[in-house]
Amino acid sequence: MHPTCQVCGSPAVGESRFCKRHKEAADQLELAFEKWRLAFSGQLNRKTFLERLLQMSETGQKVREVIRLVFAEESL
């Protein structure tokens, strides 16, 4: 059985836990967090960053879905 995306159930890419589109969104989240963290002189934590992204209308649907999965995993 092939691994599936933990967000949408589509086939996962390689060793990733995400499909192509959700992997791209997760990768962009990581890059953006590093940029934001530097801009805030290291004073921004990951949770605050993700919460702010959810509030922004510019945040894409795939990114929102990845963020919701992160929050769901953290609440376990």
In a domain, 27, yes or no: yes
The predicted structure's pLDDT at residue 74:
87
**pLDDT tens sequence across 46-64:** 999 999 999 999 999 999 9
In a domain, 34, yes or no: yes
Average pLDDT value for residue range 30-57: 94
Inter-residue contact 52 to 42 (CB < 8 Å): no
The predicted structure's pLDDT at residue 18:
97
How many domains are contained in the chain?
A: 1
Range of the domain at 63: 22-74
- Between the alpha carbon of residue 22 and those of residues 9, 37, 45, 61, 75, the distances in Å are 11, 22, 22, 10, 21
Q: Is 15 helix (H, G, I), strand (E, B) or coil?
A: coil
The DSSP code for 12 is: P
- Between the alpha carbon of residue 59 and those of residues 2, 35, 43, 51, the distances in Å are 30, 16, 22, 11
